Amino acid sequence: MTNLNKITLSNGVRILVEPVPYVKSAAIGLWCKTGSRHERDNEAGITHLIEHMLFKGTPTRTAKQIAESIEGRGGVLNAFTDKESTCYYCRVLSDDTANGIDVLTDMMLHSNFDPKELETEEGVVCEEIKRSEDEPSDHVHELHLGYRWGQHELGKPIIGTEESVQSFRREHIIEYMDRQYRAENVLLSVAGNVDPDQIKEEAEKILGKLKTGATESQVSRPAGIASINEINKDTEQVHFCIGTDAISVYDEDLLAVMSVFDSALGGSMSSRLFQEVREKRGLVYSIGSYTLSYGAGGAYTVYGGTSMKNWEEVKSIVRTEFDKIMADGLDEEELERTKKSLAGHLVLALEGMSSRMMRMSRCELNYKRDISIEEALVRLNKVTNAQIKELANRILDPVFVSTTAIGPF
């Protein structure tokens, strides 16, 4: 059982603290429940740009001092933007926890958004866009979701476009922050050798002044378009995604089933696709699969890279493996082995404070409650082959599956 402490401040900010006394570090996450799907039509990429801008200086710290305040003490500082949330996080020594919280909250609450810095950072993000487009093994994933979900909020690229990013001015940043960075959307999460009472006291003093008034919103479930899109580019390999719509984070009865399905089919080195396509036939260096789950829906994707001469064969093998799991599911030994593997990953993740922090944060943001490891293991152990087959037939029918590939077509 976890020793999770939760408090909700009077303005709606949530604080999660999990004391782990046997370590000498702490992982701190300052989250906002806002992502690219919350952007309006004229705001494509603004959430990600704001993530960059929060590192560019406050009245009391320059950009360099923000980095030095954490990294100069042996810590790690970073951030990421997703389709439904943004996280600013650091890993610090236990004695530096208060400083870590101070730096992250200073960034979120007091960033300057200097117009000159904004112009510079827009250039940085545009270079990031160009780099992504130059890396077909990365770019194909964003294209795949875009082709599947079109103009749906979940289908738009998190990073935006060069045109949209260069259009933003300071007032656009301020307006978006004022709308989305409201108290009810903010979560401070800490795991490590810390005192919960001190964390709560510090957080209330700093975050208790955040304005309230966040609005709950949910978009319709995206209806994936089954299409074949082959993009011609002078590459050595065909970089591909083959996938379908999957489950929402709120399909709680299917979360464990989806995990077993994904892991057995393509999520590990012992998976069917890795063994069949790479180990037995040597057709790829890289092949795997993953599941994305959001509030409104999700996606299941097989990805990899292969030579042009092997492309048709690889596609055929992937389809064959889809058909096999639809017809027969998993054999008993495979099912038990996969469940044991996933159980091991869940437990081993508890060894890392960052993993603990991320896990409890996502549970809170998605479900407003903790899902203990014990509960997760019970769900996992209950997964049956009948459920695997039912899920496979629900999502893998050829009429639902789309293919996106970048290569020398």
Give the per-residue pLDDT at 2.
66
Measured from the Cβ of residue 312, the count of other Cβ atoms closer than 10 Å reads: 11
Q: Is the dihedral of CA 31, 33, 34, 35 positive or negative?
A: positive
Is residue 217 in a domain?
A: no
Q: Which two tokens stand for residue 257?
A: 């089933």
For 265-303, write each residue's pLDDT tens digit.
999 999 999 999 999 999 999 999 999 999 999 999 999
For 132-177, write each residue's pLDDT tens digit.
999 999 999 999 999 999 999 999 999 999 999 999 999 999 999 9
- Residues 239 and 386 reside in one and the same domain: yes
The percentage of the chain sitting over the pLDDT mark of 70, rounded to a whole number, equals 100
Position 1 pLDDT exceeds 70: no
Is residue 25 in a domain?
A: yes
User: Of 18, 39, 51, 202, which residue is the catalytic one?
Assistant: 51
Of 140, 172, 207, the residue that ends a domain is 207
Average pLDDT over residues 369-378: 94
Is residue 221 in a domain?
A: no
Position 224 pLDDT exceeds 90: yes
Of 172, 207, 242, the residue that ends a domain is 207
Q: Is the dihedral of CA 373, 375, 376, 381 positive or negative?
A: positive
The reply to whether 51 belongs to the active site is yes
Is residue 366 in a domain?
A: yes
CA–CA separation, 305 vs 310, rounded Å? 10
User: Which residue reads 């289908």 in tokens?
Assistant: 155
Is residue 214 in a domain?
A: no
Is residue 212 in a domain?
A: no
At 39, is the secondary structure helix, strand, or coil?
Answer: coil
For 248-258, write each residue's pLDDT tens digit.
999 989 999 99
Instruction: Write out the residue range of the structural domain in which residue 50 sits.
Output: 5-207
Give the per-residue pLDDT at 368.
92
- Residues 300 and 394 reside in one and the same domain: yes
C-beta separation of 296 from 248 below 8 A = yes
**Domain count along the chain:** 2
CA–CA separation, 35 vs 25, rounded Å? 29
- Residues 240 and 193 reside in one and the same domain: no
CATH code for the domain in which residue 279 is found: 3.30.830.10
Of 174, 207, 240, the residue that ends a domain is 207
- Residues 199 and 310 reside in one and the same domain: no
Give the per-residue pLDDT at 219.
87
Give the per-residue pLDDT at 3.
86
Position 358 pLDDT exceeds 70: yes
- Residues 341 and 378 reside in one and the same domain: yes
- Residues 172 and 79 reside in one and the same domain: yes
Please state the separation of Cα 193 from the chain's center in Å: 26
- Residues 35 and 168 reside in one and the same domain: yes
CA–CA separation, 73 vs 70, rounded Å? 6
- Residues 140 and 273 reside in one and the same domain: no
C-beta separation of 52 from 204 below 8 A = no
CA–CA separation, 155 vs 176, rounded Å? 20
- Going from the C-alpha of 20 to that of each of 7, 23, 365, the distances in angstroms are 18, 6, 22
- Residues 15 and 97 reside in one and the same domain: yes
CA–CA separation, 174 vs 162, rounded Å? 20
Is residue 282 in a domain?
A: yes
Q: Give, as one character, the DSSP assignment of residue 227.
A: -
Parallel/antiparallel/unpaired status of strands 402-407 and 228-232: parallel
Average pLDDT over residues 309-338: 97
Q: Give, as one character, the DSSP assignment of residue 83.
A: S
For 114-141, write each residue's pLDDT tens digit.
999 999 999 999 999 999 999 999 999 9
Is residue 293 in a domain?
A: yes
- Residues 50 and 171 reside in one and the same domain: yes
Residue 320: partners with Cβ closer than 8 Å, 6 or more residues away: none
Position 107 pLDDT exceeds 90: yes
Indicate the pLDDT class of residue 216, thresholds 50, 70 and 90. confident
Q: Which two tokens stand for residue 232?
A: 């011609």
Measured from the Cβ of residue 305, the count of other Cβ atoms closer than 10 Å reads: 22
In this prediction the pTM is: 0.94
Please state the separation of Cα 220 from the chain's center in Å: 20
C-beta separation of 272 from 266 below 8 A = yes
- Residues 273 and 131 reside in one and the same domain: no
C-beta separation of 391 from 335 below 8 A = no
Q: Which two tokens stand for residue 166?
A: 């260069």
Closest CA to 405 of 144, 149, 174: 144
User: Which residue reads 């304005």 in tokens?
Assistant: 211
- Residues 197 and 252 reside in one and the same domain: no
